[in-house]
Amino acid sequence: MLQRRQVIQAGTSLGVLGLLAGCATPATGKGPKVVVIGAGYGGATAAKYIRMWSEGAVQVTVVEPNAQFISCPMSNLVIGGSMKLSDITLSYDNLVKRHGVTMVSDRVVNIDGAKRMVKLASGTELPYDRLIVSPGVDFMWETLPGMNKPNAQEQVFHGWKAGAQTVALRKQIESMPDGGVFAMTVPQAPYRCPPGPYERACQVADYFSKAKPKSKVIILDANDDVTSKGPLFKKAWAERYKNIIEYRPKHALTDVDVATKTLKFEFNDDVKAAVLNVIPSMRAGDVAVNAGMATANKRWCEVDFLTFESKALPNIHVLGDAIQIAPLMPKSAHMANQHGKSCAAAVVALLTGKPVNPLPIYNNTCYSFVSAEDVIHVSSVHRYDAAQKTMLTVPGSGGVSAAANELEGRYAMGWARNIWADTLA
Amino acid sequence: MKLRVCVAAAVWLCSVQVAQAQSPDPLQVRSWAASCSNCHGTNGVAQSGMESLAGVPAADITKKMLDFKAGRKPATIMHQLSKGYSDEQIAAIAGFFAAQKK
């Protein structure tokens, strides 16, 4: 017994050493091999649940270039100043220690579907029986010529991937003199986190109301109207931030003049501001697009919703924000976590010769902070429809908050702690 | 003729009983239950700020969910989410959580 424990401990510490050194240490044990690209809400959840539900029988290797997990949900509170980046930064250690996932700190350069092999920047090749691609989004910079000029992206931030950009945007807002304008652009839907831009406007306005009361927030939205929780956001803007937030719909951004901090639109006048926050149009992450899986408008990856297997490439599953969504399914962290579990169950079933669940059901919950404390939510339940072969919302289910309230602010924090643990611990 | 109707009715009754007695595939129920764990913790063991479901008697979870669903119990969100699941699915999910270690 003692010997066995020593062996296990030695194995564990070797695994940790490999991780710390950033070495590619592909899973070498017995059993089918799954490689996961990307350890965000989708990929990390899939990795953990495949290990749990296969009872360790399936080897899981996760390729993730970032050393730590930084949560996009709650990152608007860092921009508003009520949280710090360290509050939303989490370790991948439990995936390794508790669940026996092999983490590889590297980037994918190529997926060879015929050979079932992933090639990494370091030159390492990882073979797989099934591959899970959860790359999130990348930005369509080609639609904004001015943002491709040298250093443009180091001066105007999107803050739509939590991390350095979140902190940089916060610093710009902090150093802006009172009386300035913060102008943010919202891309045409679909994009990551539908209510996110409107929550961010509230967070910046909340900060202005306390620290810079003469300053303004202008939301320039490419969409015809607020894309999520519209009446609730508009109520918050009218009641809480009447002289601070101005909302302008139907503003399709065409270019950014970084030197003069000017936004240019298809049909509207230019807008100049002290701080620009450009949230560009989005598509599936590069690794999925480059592999040829972005078959919907060349932007999003179509999948079979029973397994999340790509409709373009066999044995490759795509999760999270990168997929062509089902009707009324948001691109959210909560949904990516649900994709991860639904896919994990299917992958374990496929690798062990068991039937795939013919009736997936899962839900979405999205909380938005309209101040540092008060929160509104939108919820939905999604069930597989065998006739239409997609996920549809269950009639009569779901809804929004009656009004912004502090109780849901506490639930939102509970949600964060729980989804972080469900994804990573 | 009368006899045939009776037989048909008996067969129908029988098949209804079989369908009711047939419990759903445990792996399917595990997947359904996992859709609760974003908020209620992996296998129902929650972090602070949310209710744990692991080890809670199935009857208690089922009653609560049906009360949410019928509007008998006030809620911020569960009255909306509970309506997405059939009573049978709720009972099966409750059974899963009841069997988990606290």
pLDDT, averaged across chain A: 94
Instruction: Give the per-residue pLDDT at A28.
Output: 58
Q: Name the domain count of chain B.
A: 1
> What element of type H or E holds B29?
helix B26-34
Q: Is B51 among the domain residues?
A: yes
Last residue of a domain, one of A322, A356, A390: A356
Are A8 and A134 members of one domain?
A: yes
Instruction: Give the per-residue pLDDT at A301.
Output: 98
Per the omega criterion (within 30 degrees of 0), is the bond before A190 cis? yes
Instruction: Give the per-residue pLDDT at A149.
Output: 97
Q: Is B12 among the domain residues?
A: no
User: Contacts of residue B49 in chain A, CB cutoff 8 Å?
Assistant: 410-411, 413-415, 417-418
User: Contacts of residue B46 in chain A, CB cutoff 8 Å?
Assistant: 418
Beta-bridge partners for A127: A117
Q: B60-85: per-residue pLDDT in tens?
A: 999 999 999 999 999 999 999 999 99
Please give the Cα distance from A158 to A140 (Å, whole number). Answer: 12
Q: Is A368 among the domain residues?
A: no
Query: Which residues form the domain of A44?
Result: 2-138+283-356
Looking up tokens 């990307």 gives A38
Cβ-based neighbour number of residue A91 at 10 Å: 13
* Res. A2: pLDDT tops 50: no
Instruction: Give the per-residue pLDDT at B11.
Output: 43
* Res. A309: pLDDT tops 60: yes
Instruction: Give the per-residue pLDDT at B22.
Output: 63
Please give the Cα distance from A250 to A19 (Å, whole number). Answer: 48
Q: Is A418 among the domain residues?
A: no
Please give the Cα distance from A182 to A217 (Å, whole number). Answer: 5
Please name the residue ranges forming H helices in A138-247: 164-175, 196-211, 230-240
Instruction: Give the per-residue pLDDT at A162.
Output: 98
Option in A53, A377, A382 nearest B77 (CB): A377
Nearest residue of chain A to residue B48 (CA atoms): A414
Please give the Cα distance from A211 to A326 (Å, whole number). Answer: 42
Are A8 and A124 members of one domain?
A: yes
Instruction: Give the per-residue pLDDT at A20.
Output: 37
Are A317 and A254 members of one domain?
A: no
Q: Is B14 among the domain residues?
A: no
Q: Is B4 among the domain residues?
A: no
pLDDT > 90 in chain A, percent: 93
Last residue of a domain, one of A356, A371, A389: A356
Are A311 and A265 members of one domain?
A: no
Are A252 and A321 members of one domain?
A: no
Nearest residue of chain B to residue A344 (CA atoms): B31
Query: Which residues form the domain of B63?
Result: 25-98
Q: Name the domain count of chain A.
A: 2
Q: Is B60 among the domain residues?
A: yes
Please give the Cα distance from A341 to A360 (Å, whole number). Answer: 10
- Under 8 Å CB-to-CB from A21, ≥6 apart: which residues? none
Are A116 and A175 members of one domain?
A: no
B96 CA to centre of own chain: 9
Are A129 and A207 members of one domain?
A: no
Nearest CA of chain B to the CA of A377: how many Å?
Answer: 8
Nearest residue of chain A to residue B89 (CA atoms): A361
* Contact check, Cβ <8 Å, A417/B28: no
Nearest residue of chain A to residue B68 (CA atoms): A397
Please give the Cα distance from A62 to A10 (Å, whole number). Answer: 21
Q: What angle do CA A351, A355, A359 make, to 5 degrees?
A: 120
Compute the average pLDDT of residues A323-350: 98
Instruction: Give the per-residue pLDDT at B23.
Output: 76
* Contact check, Cβ <8 Å, B31/A49: no
Strand order in the sheet with A125-127: A108-112, A117-120, A125-127
Q: Is B89 among the domain residues?
A: yes
Nearest CA of chain B to the CA of A288: how many Å?
Answer: 26
Burial letters A246-268, b for 16+ CB under 10 A, else e:
ebeeebbbebbbbeebbbbbeee
Residue among A35, A33, A27, A22 at smallest CA distance from A11:
A27
Last residue of a domain, one of A356, A389, A407: A356
Instruction: Give the per-residue pLDDT at A31.
Output: 93
Instruction: Give the per-residue pLDDT at B24.
Output: 86
Are A259 and A289 members of one domain?
A: no
Q: A4-22: per-residue pLDDT in tens?
A: 333 333 333 333 333 333 3
